[in-house]
Amino acid sequence: MKITRILLPMLAALVAVSALAGNPKREFRGAWMHIIGQKQYAEMTPAQTRDYLVDQLNKLQQAGCNAIIWQIRPQADAGYPSSLEPWSHWMTGETGKAPEPMWDPLQFMIDESHKRGMELHAWINPYRVTSAKDEQLPQGHVYYEHPEWFLKYADGKIYFDPGLPECRNFIDKVVRDIVTRYDVDAIHMDDYFYPYPVTGVDFPDDASYNKYGLGWDRGDWRRNNVDRLIEQLHNSLMEIKPWVRLGISPFGIWRNKKNDVNGSDTNGLQCYDALYADCPRWTAMGWVDYMVPQLYWELEHKAASDLKLSYWWNNRANGRHMYYGQSVNNVMSHRDIAEDKGDTLNPTQLDHKVRLMRELEHVQGPCWWPAYSITNNYKGVMDSLATTHQATPALIQPYTWIDSIAPAQVADLKLTKNKTAVTLAWTAPLTTDPLQQAARYVVYRVKEAEEFNFDDSSAIYTITGETTLTIPVAKKDKTKWKYAVTAVDRCNNESTPAFIK
């Protein structure tokens, strides 16, 4: 069957009706905002950067996203004031140079995300120190204080040596500093553990292996080094702020079935062997709270089918949250595949992938790469998310292994109105337990004659971090509404609703 341009609008309408009907109340909808490789931040003044970030967050909120994964440490540097590492040149234009006038991008992103009822996950790269050959590090960098901690690989870049306990302790110190000073919701790491291999050249860690390998197979020793870092970071978070999660986004292939009976039916680079990342072990051991495998391929990719990998990763959650990293450009640039032997009219794979993630038992939602493709509305993706696939607000699923107790109700819920707006105001529930503190609020709205269905996402008017909400009222709108408000704690447990008396 040939696809005609006349049929495509009809198809889009049918897809929209189908997807909207299935929008869940609980779903992780993350978006990665990287600063590495992005020139705009260094070229803008702090005021322009703040305006730009507000615009980005507004668009992501409009697209239904509820978690921002914001890169703050791309290469042993800092996109925030730090006494341990220099300012990132990706943020300020020059490594080690503070912004002028001084401001704190991380605190700003936390405040603005939380205001919108969105989580802020602080994204760090653990081992990478430089991102280009012959890159110069500024005076005062820990590289000059402890040159023995670092190795230069065949790609010309400098890395912490993962085999040294001193390096693990320093990275842990950086994370402890972030979590102690900032109200982040999670610490996030992506796929860069041991560096992506240069063909035929091994990572030059003979000295640390000879000192600490103690008869280990080299590959097993390297994987153990990464394991020990992740376990150490998990323990630090539990000690300092147990509600702050640890999330990791590994390369999408663990091992190929031809090399391991437990592997996936794929034929690509294996993060277990190439990056020394034994990802399923991290969920099985309870060291991570969520996993976001990067399933950036099309559904039918010959070497790494997203369809096959989706089913494979679904069975590796081990009781932790599993989100799927999706490449926006790939999703929107490939025509859908038919789910039977017929043809499909769908010009993208967006609907298919969203439906697949929602059907899989242990998958709690997508994470979109990169956020900028959404805010730039690449091939209409923002329109599709905002009007169809993420058209109603969603709460992230609770992290019940950390805390499963719901917070108390909000208090003093009141409504005032005038000719142009309705204003709701309430008071946060009182508690001395940080796990029970309200982190955000859900405002429900239904027509006066209807009953509330608190499991129906369409009943959610908005999710906010504020304790007041003003809703504009059109002059000719005579609809009578009723409202309810719930509190949501740091682990996404929701209180019983409070009603206007």
| Residue 462: burial class (beta carbons within 10 Å; 0-12, 13-18, 19+) | middle
Say what the pLDDT of residue 218 is: 98
- Tens digits of pLDDT across the chain (501 residues): 333 333 333 344 444 444 445 699 999 999 999 999 999 999 999 999 999 999 999 999 999 999 999 999 999 999 999 999 999 999 999 999 999 999 999 999 999 999 999 999 999 999 999 999 989 999 999 999 999 999 999 999 999 999 999 999 999 999 999 999 999 999 999 999 999 999 999 999 999 999 999 999 999 999 999 999 999 999 999 999 999 999 999 999 999 999 999 999 999 999 999 999 999 999 999 999 999 999 999 999 999 999 999 999 999 999 999 999 999 999 999 999 987 656 667 899 999 999 999 999 999 999 999 999 999 999 999 999 999 999 999 999 999 999 999 999 999 999 999 989 999 999 999 999 999 999 999 999 999 999 999 999 999 999 999 999 999 998 888 899 999 999 999 999 999 999 998
Cα separation, 311 vs 294, in Å, equals 14
Say what the pLDDT of residue 197 is: 97
In order, the DSSP letters of 334-363 are SPPPPSSSS----SSSHHHHHHHHHHSTT-
Nearest CA to 367 out of 27, 21, 10 is that of 27
Crossing angle of helices 350-359 and 306-314, in 10° steps, is 20
Identify the H or E element spanning 15. Answer: helix 7-21
Structure letter (DSSP) for residue 275: I
Instruction: Kindly list the structural domains of the chain, giving each domain's residue range(s) and its CATH number in brackets, ordered by start.
Output: 25-389 (3.20.20.80), 411-499 (2.60.40.10)
Say what the pLDDT of residue 442 is: 98
Q: How many CB atoms lie within 10 A of CB 424?
A: 24
Residue 37: CB partners within 8 Å, gap ≥ 6? 90
Place of tokens 């998990």: 234
Q: Are 64 and 29 in contact (CB under 8 A)?
A: yes
Q: How many CB atoms lie within 10 A of CB 311?
A: 14
Q: Are 61 and 372 in contact (CB under 8 A)?
A: no
Q: Cα angle at 322 between 319 and 327, to 5 degrees?
A: 170
Say what the pLDDT of residue 341 is: 59
Q: Are 366 and 30 in contact (CB under 8 A)?
A: yes
Residue 302: CB partners within 8 Å, gap ≥ 6? 267
Cα separation, 113 vs 119, in Å, equals 6
Please tell me the pTM assigned to this model: 0.95
Place of tokens 């020394």: 276
